[in-house]
Amino acid sequence: METENSNKIEIIWDTSEIDKKIKELAANIADNWANADTVNLIPIMTGAICFGSKLLNYLEAFTPGKWAVNPVLASAYSDNFDPSEPEIVTSRNFEQRMQMGFPTIILDDLIDTGVTLIKLKNKILKLTNGPVEIAVLVDKQFRRQIELDANYACFTLMDDKWLVGYGMDYKGKMRGMDKIGYIV
């Protein structure tokens, strides 16, 4: 596959593989939190937009009315592809929208360095007094800088490839692809 800017993309996971894995992950989460009245879901925008939406559809199908969504904006990357200090931006009523004392699951497209996710996880832990888990579409282990594992992951990637599609971007583009690939 090639983009109009001549970037060649090698597809790793297609639409049906992604959908199957997200559905399995949703069933696992729904089962793990079957006894909770409410579960906070914190999708990290803009990366988790596709993954979070599809996951929420399946979670609501398995156990409707349980899932409280409260997104944040966060990023540790700029166009030079080197991670920097993550910036996390919440809505002004973020704390009021959190369901205190209930479990929280942070949703992201991928975990790579782990720096952004640990910063957000620590912030949520201080705020809610409930368990905080992490669910990602891809666990990209090559660039991990800190000891942090996702509680739930659809796919694992050991190589240092720049992924695109299903929320992951290249210079702000290609997030909306319904498959995941890497730039060759």
With beta carbons less than 8 A apart as the criterion, state whether 174 and 48 touch: no
pLDDT of 82 reads 54
pLDDT tens figures, 6-22: 579 999 999 999 999 99
* Residue scoring higher pLDDT (70 or 93): 70
Domain ranges in the chain?
A: 17-157
Mean pLDDT of 75-88: 60
Answer whether residue 71 shows pLDDT above 60: yes
Strongest mean pLDDT among 33-42, 89-98, 139-148: 33-42
Helices (H) and strands (E) in the chain, counts: 4, 10
Is the per-residue pLDDT at 77 higher than 60?
no
Quote the distance between the C-alpha of residue 86 and its chain's center: 15
Where does the pLDDT of residue 79 fall: very low under 50, low under 70, confident under 90, or very high at 90 and above? low
Residue whose entry in the numeric block shows the structure tokens 């368990």? 131
Structure tokens at 64: 């409707």
Q: What is the pTM of this model?
A: 0.89
Mean pLDDT estimate for the chain: 88
CA separation (Å) from 147 to 23, 105, 113?
A: 27, 18, 9
Q: Please write the tens of the pLDDT for every residue from 116-130.
A: 899 899 989 988 888
Longest dimension (CA), the chain: 50
pLDDT value, residue 3 = 52
What pLDDT score does 96 carry?
Answer: 79
75 burial via Cβ count (<10 Å: 0-12, 13-18, 19+): middle
H helices present in 33-109, as ranges: 49-62, 94-97
Given 3.40.50.2020, 3.30.420.40, 3.20.20.30, 3.50.50.60, which CATH number is that of 17-157? 3.40.50.2020
Q: Is the peptide bond before 113 cis (omega within 30 degrees of 0)?
A: no
Of the candidates 119, 123, 109, the one whose C-alpha atom is nearest the C-alpha of residue 153 is 109
